[in-house]
Chains A and B, each alone.
Chain A
């Protein structure tokens, strides 16, 4: 069977909300079955072309296969079954959990380092670099990373853009509103970490918020356009 024999069926199944994993498995079995039918028709003395048409006909039309697949709700992806939860609510909650988890891990790491040094701990350049990297990840990396994952999820499942768009806008806003500062201990003064989610109405804060918000959205939409074009070109 030609390699692109089932390309249209694949696209229709994905657009119908069937999970990509189920689509791949279905196509694998259909291809194997079609190959067995082709062998059977050729063994009956048919020419390759006639055998190919007969084998495809015996499998059933694309319409029938798609209809049968859509009758099975269990085959649908979570995003197709619960788009509001999966595309609009879970991504910002996941981003928040990722940020809180990372900061908690950092605080725990600093506490363990202090405990092991029995009070003689001093921050070094490598500690500063590691903490700077974590701060950068929380403030800039995670919002973009989570947005890219949502875009990828949306495109590979051919989901409508409405709910993922709300998820993206919320994640970009949440990422831009997140604040996280580190003050290292100085002579006679303890260091501290502070983080939170909030915004200020002063011009500088609004500019910083806008820049981070737009950056996340531009990167996410860039990937969306790229992946959609690639999916459409097959």
Chain B
């Protein structure tokens, strides 16, 4: 599978995370709710699956985090860095190209 196709199929969570965290900082639970809200509940990943992606993005320098305790519960807030916003722009371009290609292919098939 090519890198672009791999991004198309498995990079959705990375794309959504960077999109949401480029606007404002959020912690995991809040981010899971926001993903459901902006995708109109069409994308429902296991909410715990966000964290390995968040940690990986942070180690790549695409996110930064800060820890805070709220009502005795620790919260780790994440926000996109400048590199994260650059990656978001690139991912959005890839996604739009791939999405347009699939729409075009489906449209041609429907009219055949």
Q: Are B74 and A32 in contact (CB under 8 A)?
A: yes
Q: How many contacts A-B (CB < 8 Å)? A: 69
**In whole angstroms, how far apart are the Cα atoms of A64 and B48 in the complex?**
9
Chain B 10-51, CB-CB to A under 8 Å as 1, else 0, gives 100000000000000000110010000000000001111101
**In whole angstroms, how far apart are the Cα atoms of A226 and B105 in the complex?**
61
Q: Are B51 and A29 in contact (CB under 8 A)?
A: yes
- A residues within 8 A CB of B49? 60, 64-65, 68
**Closest approach, in angstroms, between the C-beta of A52 and any C-beta of chain B?**
15
**Closest approach, in angstroms, between the C-beta of B33 and any C-beta of chain A?**
10
**Closest approach, in angstroms, between the C-beta of A160 and any C-beta of chain B?**
23
Q: Is B87 an interface residue (CB 8 A)?
A: no
Stretch from A70-78, A112-120, A149-157, A182-190 forming part of the interface with B: A70-78
**Closest approach, in angstroms, between the C-beta of B61 and any C-beta of chain A?**
10
- A residues within 8 A CB of B74? 28, 32
For the side of the interface on B, what is the size category? Answer: 20 to 34
Q: Is B73 an interface residue (CB 8 A)?
A: yes
**In whole angstroms, how far apart are the Cα atoms of A30 and B47 in the complex?**
9
For the residues of A in contact with B, the DSSP-based class is helix
- A residues within 8 A CB of B46? 58-61, 64-65
**Closest approach, in angstroms, between the C-beta of B12 and any C-beta of chain A?**
12
Q: Are A33 and B48 in contact (CB under 8 A)?
A: yes
For the residues of B in contact with A, the DSSP-based class is helix
Q: Are A59 and B28 in contact (CB under 8 A)?
A: no
**Closest approach, in angstroms, between the C-beta of B13 and any C-beta of chain A?**
9
Cross-interface CB contact of A74 among B45, B48, B60, cutoff 8 Å: B60
**Closest approach, in angstroms, between the C-beta of B46 and any C-beta of chain A?**
2
- A residues within 8 A CB of B112? none
Q: Is A22 an interface residue (CB 8 A)?
A: yes
Cross-interface CB contact of A33 among B29, B45, B55, cutoff 8 Å: B29
Cross-interface CB contact of A75 among B47, B48, B56, B75, cutoff 8 Å: B56
Residues of B within 8 A of A (CB): 10, 28-29, 32, 45-49, 51-53, 55-56, 59-60, 73-76
**Could you jot down 23 A-B contacts, CB within 8 Å?**
A22-B55, A26-B52, A29-B28, A30-B51, A32-B73, A32-B74, A33-B32, A33-B51, A35-B73, A36-B73, A37-B47, A58-B46, A59-B47, A61-B46, A64-B49, A68-B49, A68-B53, A71-B10, A72-B56, A72-B59, A74-B59, A75-B52, A75-B59
